[in-house]
Structure 1
Amino acid sequence: MEKVEEKLFNLIKLKLPKNVSLIDDISDVLDLNYDAAYRRIKGKTSLNLVETLKLSNHYNIDLNTLLVKSKNDVEKIVIEKTHHEISDSFLDIFFDKSVKEIQSLCNSNNLLIINSLKDYPLYHAGNGYFSKFRIYALTNMSSEKPDVKKLPFSKFYPSDEILKKYNTFLNKYNKVALIEIWNYSTIDNILNQIQYFFEVGLTTKEESISIIDSLTESIEQVEKQAKNQKRNKSDNSYLLYHNNLVSLLNTVLMESDTNKKVFVPYTNLSYFKISDENTTNQIQKHLKTQIEFSNNLSGDAAVERKKFFNVLYQKIENRKTKILLKFLSDN
């Protein structure tokens, strides 16, 4: 049976560019001289626990992959949580972790994200009025501070640090190759949030309508990407599918030619991260099955795409009408 150390170094070797020396890289990560790194790679000196953890973290290798006895040993897996707890630093952590996860795969070839979208994704929010509302709503709903929860939208100003992290997050996610699976309810939660903050008096009628109009512009950009089959900010591919047969769960699969990892939500923008090979392969197969039973809305599928987005735009107009009627009834 392949030893744990041997398995670890073989996985690291797969992640390194061909022009990078394994011994030199291990030397740098563990702060060892050339000979000490060589002895560990060749199995003449055993790795200690600290060194093993340091290597697995640096190269983003799941310890479960090292410890599993066989490909049939699938009853237990090791998972990570993206957040230890929901707090007022929630968005800072989300942006930092999201950028870190995608950056860890950026050095590999054929990076692709497959996203099964129950809710409208934050990376489509752009930089307009709608993005400010998304940050506001997430801040409000994750905070336990009364002054934050009562703060009107008009007086909300995201910190320069949050805006910087948000823009870094957008820059990374707006360029990667992307496959998305939507259904008609993918925009429902965000419409519910817009209406909620209006009804509790934290946004005005004018602000609510402006947020909805900005959401419409955001969705128009998604429609444009689907038509062109590429991202607006790069030449990487974009494919959009419509599925009303299977429940969508905001499951995210990131894959490259050397690695796969899955993110399964457990609270709002908080995820369990899974790198176990058996599980990621199963989820990859499940997502591809979802795609097989979906309508393609990309490229030449002009009629299906138009029908789908017309339903979304009508939903948006209906919600705008509800807000206007609520305003009139209250005044």
Structure 2
Amino acid sequence: MGIEKDKLFNVIKQKLPKNVLFTEEIADVLDVSYDASYRRIKGRTSLTFKEAVKLARHYKISLNELYELPSDNSLLINKNKFQDNIDGLIHFYKELSYYTKTFHSTDRTQVVYSAKDIPFYHVKTTNLYWKFRIYVHLNFSQNNSVNNKVSFYNFNPKFAAIEEANNFRETFKLTDIVDIWSDTTIDSSLYQIFYFFRTKTLRKEEALLLCDEINSIIKEIEYNVTNENSDNLPSKKKFRYTLYYSKLLNLNHTIFFKNEVKKGVLMPYGSFSHIKIEDSNICDEMDVYLQKQLQLAKKISVDTEIDRKVFFTTMYEKIDQLRNEINSKILISFL
């Protein structure tokens, strides 16, 4: 299986972050010595079919694709299911950071995010809004981990969650990011603030502060797309941030990764779980689909001043409306 062995190892290399030593990685997975791993990689010792299957399972590689077998109606996916609690959140951040790093083997990586809500990488963990998003996720999880037993004021995520969230944010912003928003992208966050305020698990001053923080996040995004730069991002390189506005695309938090050598799709389900797809045909189809959607969307960066002003003014007006509704306790009208 010489050709297939080489192809298998090449696919595995593409999946690993730059800082991982390939020979040691293969040795760990196959549970063999460093020397035995080296001989298999160099072809001095044959890689058995059983070992190839073990590697393929570990790295979620389709043997049909490896052996070029026809398989039009089947698809290999990787389901990452995490617990609906704070520990699940920690593992979610770790997995997403690790997967993003696997695309950093080349100079440029692009991420296209279908933003049903404000993407987490725009939110600093020092913000009250980050804590609120976690609180909301846990309240609405299947396990009802918080379940209104703890007020937002008394809710304190583990330090490990904050640490992993910071690592995720640093890693994610080492890419060229393309966000696709609609004019309802911030609506769920605004309604959640109002809901928890009305149910008295969120105090008035907290609700108003959350409005201020969302307003600041939107202002920072507006600054970035106006100047189309990322000077504030934690990186030695200059990465691009581009924002598109679309009324046509069904936004669902899908994340599409691509660089010069590979592509991948993460499709969320549940609070912190997602399905990973790396099938080349599916990813190519997704790439073509997203490029078509971007052509139909409005790029509200740099030159499109009127569209940009209208878009962001709408966001600010919604936030102001929520502030007024918190003070008057009138039902939100824009939903």
What aligned pairs does 1:1-331 form with structure 2 within 5 A after superposition? 4-12=4-12, 30=30, 31-32=32-33, 34=35, 37-38=38-39, 41-42=42-43, 45-50=46-51, 52-54=53-55, 57=58, 61=61, 65-66=65-66, 69-70=69-70, 73-126=71-124, 127-142=126-141, 144=143, 149-231=148-230, 232-233=232-233, 234=235, 235-326=238-329
Deviations 1:277-296 (A, max 9, x none): 00011111111111000111
**What amino acid is aligned across from residue 200 of structure 1 in structure 2?**
T
Q: What's the CA shift string for 1:21-77, capped at 9, x where partnerless?
A: 98787567644455764456548623343454346646x75556425514xx33110
Contact kept? 1:83, 1:93, Cα under 8 Å:
no
Secondary structure of residue in 2 paired with 1:240 = strand
Amino acid at match of 2:197: F
CA distance 1:97–1:55, change in 2 (3 Å) = same
| Cα contact 2:108–2:175 (8 A) shared by 1 | no
SS at match of 1:180: strand
- In the TM superposition, what is the alpha-carbon distance from 1:155 to its structure 2 partner? 0.9
Q: CA deviation at 1:136?
A: 2.0
Q: What secondary structure does 2:303 align onto?
A: coil
Paired amino acid for 1:69:
L
User: 1: distance between equivalents of 2:15 and 2:44?
Assistant: 20
The one-letter amino acid of 1:290's match is Q
Stretch of structure 1 that moved more, 146-155 or 223-232: 146-155
Amino acid at match of 2:127: G
Distance of 1:167 and 1:36 partners within structure 2 = 35
Structure 1 residue 196: Cα displacement: 1.1
Q: What SS is found at the alignment partner of 2:165?
A: helix
Letter matched to residue 319 of structure 1 = L
SS in structure 2 opposite 1:153? coil
More deviation, 45-54/171-180: 45-54
- Of 194-203 and 86-95, the range deviating more from structure 2: 86-95
Q: Retained in 2: the 8 A contact 1:264–1:272?
A: yes
Is the 8 Å Cα contact of residues 129 and 210 (structure 2) preserved in structure 1?
Answer: yes
Separation of aligned partners in 1, 2:247 and 2:2: 45
Quickly say closer, same or farther: Cα 1:37–1:243, change in 2 above 3 A.
same
- Aligned positions, number: 324
What are the ranges of 5 or more consecutive residues in structure 2 without an aligned counterpart?
none
TM-score normalised by L of structure 1: 0.85
Give the conservation status (yes or no) of the 8 Å contact 1:125–1:134.
Answer: no
How far residue 262 of structure 1 moved from its aligned partner, in angstroms, is: 0.2
Q: Match of 1:169, SS?
A: helix
Q: Is the 8 A contact 1:5 1:43 kept in 2?
A: no
CA distance in structure 2 between the partners assigned to 1:154 and 1:142 by the alignment: 19
Q: Return 23-32 or 222-231, whichever deviates more.
A: 23-32
Please give the alpha-carbon distance, in whole angstroms, between the structure 1 residues aligned to 2:184 and 2:314: 10
Give the 3-state SS of the residue equivalent to 1:262 in structure 2: strand
* 1:9 partner letter: F
Verify the 8 A CA contact 1:194 1:208 in the aligned structure 2: yes
Tell me if the contact between 2:23 and 2:37 (Cα under 8 Å) persists in the aligned partners: no
- Contact 2:84–2:143 (CA<8 Å) still a contact in 1? no
The secondary structure found in structure 1 opposite 2:140 is helix
Q: Which one-letter code corresponds to 1:46 in the other structure?
A: L
Give the secondary-structure state (helix, strand or coil) at the position aligned to 2:265: strand
Give the Å deviation of 1:122.
1.5
Identity %: 29
Cα distance change, pair 21–83 in 1 and its aligned pair in 2 (3 A): closer
For the 8 Å contact 1:118–1:250, the answer to whether it is kept is yes
Q: TM-score, normalised by structure 2?
A: 0.85
Taking the aligned partners of 1:224 and 1:62, their CA distance within structure 2 comes to 43
Counterpart Cα distance in 1 of 2:102 and 2:190: 33
Q: Distance in 2 between matches of 1:92 and 1:21?
A: 25
1:234-273 deviation line (CA, Å, top 9, x unaligned)? 4201111111122222211111222211011222342211
Structure 2: distance between partners of 1:50 and 1:2 = 13
Whichever structure has more helix as a proportion of its residues is 1
Superposition deviation, residue 147 in structure 1: 5.7
